[in-house]
Amino acid sequence: MAAPSVKPGQRFTVPDWDTNARLISADAESQRSASHQIRQEARALRSETNNQAKWDEHDNQTRLAERISSVNRWKETLDKCLADIDEEINALAKVKEAAERALQAKNLSLDVAMECLTLRDGRRAIDVVRDPAEEELHREVKVIDKAKRELQQRVHEAFEQLCLLQEARQQLSFDHRGKMEALEIDRTCLSLSVNSPNISYKVDPTRIPNGSTAVDEWEQNSQYNKDHAEEEMKASTKLREAIVLSIAQTNNELEAQRVATEFALRKRIRDMERAYDELKWQEQNTLEEISEMEEDIRRLEEDLRRKMQDLKVAHSRLETRSYRPNVELCRDQVQYGLTDEVHQLEGSIRALKLKLAEAQDALDALYRQLHRVQTDMACKAHSLVLDHKCMDSRRKLVVPAEKFVPQVDSFNRTTNRVPSPPRAGQLELG
C-alpha cells in the first residue's frame, strides 16, 4: 500500500505564481540583454586586441628590422675599420722591422769605424797624429751613435704605437663580436612567430637586465671605438712616415760621412806615400853622400899618411944633417928649406887631421840622419799598412761581409801601391 504524499508547508497564491513567472521571464530577458552586451563588447575587444597585437607585432617587426639594419651598418663599419687597422698594423710592423734592420746595419758601420780607429792607434812615433782622417773617423762614430739613438727611439715609438693599435683593435673586435651576437639574437627574434616551437612564457620578461645601456650610449660607444681606432691609425701613419724619413736621413748622413771618411783616408794615404817617396829620395841621396864622404875620408887618411911619411923624411933629413962636423954644421938654405918643409908639413897634417875629424863628424851625422830617415820610413810604411787595412775593412760597408776577402801581398799589405823595402846596405829598423 503506497505511502501518503507529504503536503507542502506553504501554499502560494495564483498572483504569487504569476508574479514569479513574470520575474523569471524578466530576469531571463535581462540576462540575455546583458549577455548580448558582453558578447558585443567581447567582439569589439577581440577586434581591438587583435588589431593592437597585429600592429604591435608589425611595429616591433619593423623596429627589429631597423635595429638589425642599424647594427649591421655598424658591423660593416667595424669590419672596414678592423680591416684598415689590420693593414696599418702590418704596415707599421714592416716599417718597424725595416728600422730594426737599419739599426742592426749600423752595428757593422760602428764596428768598422772602431776597427779603423783601433788600427790607427797602432801608428808609431811622429805618425801618431790627429789628422783629418782620424777626425772624420771620430765624426763617423758620432754620426753612427746619433743614428742608432734615433733609430732605437723610432723602434721604441713603433712598438708603443703597435701596442696602442692592438688595444684599439681589441676594442673594435670586442664591439664587433657584440654586434655579431646582437645581430644573431635580433634575427632570431625577428624569425619567431606563434608557430615557432621554442616559444614559452618567461619569468619577468619585462625586467631591465643589469648592464643595460641607452641607445645613445650604445651608439657613442661604437663611435668612440671607431674614432679612437682612426686616431691611432692616423698617428701610426705619421709615425711610419717619420720612421721611413729617419731611415733615409740616417742612411744619407752615414753615407755622406762614409764618403768623407774614405776621402780623408785616401788623401792621407796619398800624402803618406808622397812622404815615403820623399824619404826614400832622401835616403838614396844620403847613401850617396855617405859613399862620397867615406871615399873622401879615405883619401884624407891617405893624404894624411903621405904627409906623415913626408914629415918623417924631413925630420930624418934635419936630424941627419945635425951630425955634420965642425963648421960644416951651418944653417944653410937646405936647413931653412927643410925647417920650412917641416913647419909646412906639420901645418898640413894639422889641417888634414882637423878636416878628417870634421869629415868623420859629418859622416856620423849622415849615418844618424840615415837612421832617422829609415826610422821615419819604417813608421810611414807601418802607417801605410794600417791605413790600407782600414780601407780593406771599410770595403765591408759596400761589399757583403761573407763575400769580403781582403787581398794582401807577402808583406801583409794591400794590392794598392806599396813603398819598396830598403835596399841591401841600408839600415833595417824594426
pLDDT one-digit tens code per residue, 55-90: 888 888 888 889 889 889 988 999 999 999 999 999
Residue 4 pLDDT class (50, 70, 90 cuts): low
Measured distance CA(208)–CA(325) in Å, rounded: 168
Residue whose C-alpha cell is 909646412: 344
At residue 407, the pLDDT reads 40
At residue 97, the pLDDT reads 93
Q: Burial, 112: exposed, middle or buried (Cβ in 10 Å; 0-12, 13-18, 19+)? A: buried
What average pLDDT is seen over the chain? 84
- The number of folded domains in the chain is 1
Domain of residue 231 covers 35-396
Residue 17 pLDDT exceeds 60: yes
User: Does residue 240 sit within a domain?
Assistant: yes
At residue 150, the pLDDT reads 92
User: Does residue 11 sit within a domain?
Assistant: no
At residue 68, the pLDDT reads 87
Residue 145 pLDDT exceeds 70: yes
Task: Please give the helix or strand (H or E) that residue 205 lies within, else none.
Answer: none
User: Does residue 376 sit within a domain?
Assistant: yes
At residue 5, the pLDDT reads 57
User: Does residue 403 sit within a domain?
Assistant: no
DSSP 126: G
At residue 8, the pLDDT reads 59
pLDDT one-digit tens code per residue, 80-128: 999 999 999 999 999 999 999 999 988 888 888 888 888 888 888 887 8
Q: Is the dihedral of CA 209, 215, 217, 222 positive or negative?
A: positive
Identify the CATH number of the domain in which residue 282 sits: 1.20.250
b/e per residue, 299-321, with b = 16+ CB within 10 A?
A: ebeeebeebbebbeebeebeeeb
Residue 193 pLDDT exceeds 90: no
User: Does residue 416 sit within a domain?
Assistant: no
pLDDT one-digit tens code per residue, 276-290: 899 899 889 989 999
User: Does residue 412 sit within a domain?
Assistant: no
Mean pLDDT value across residues 201-206 = 75
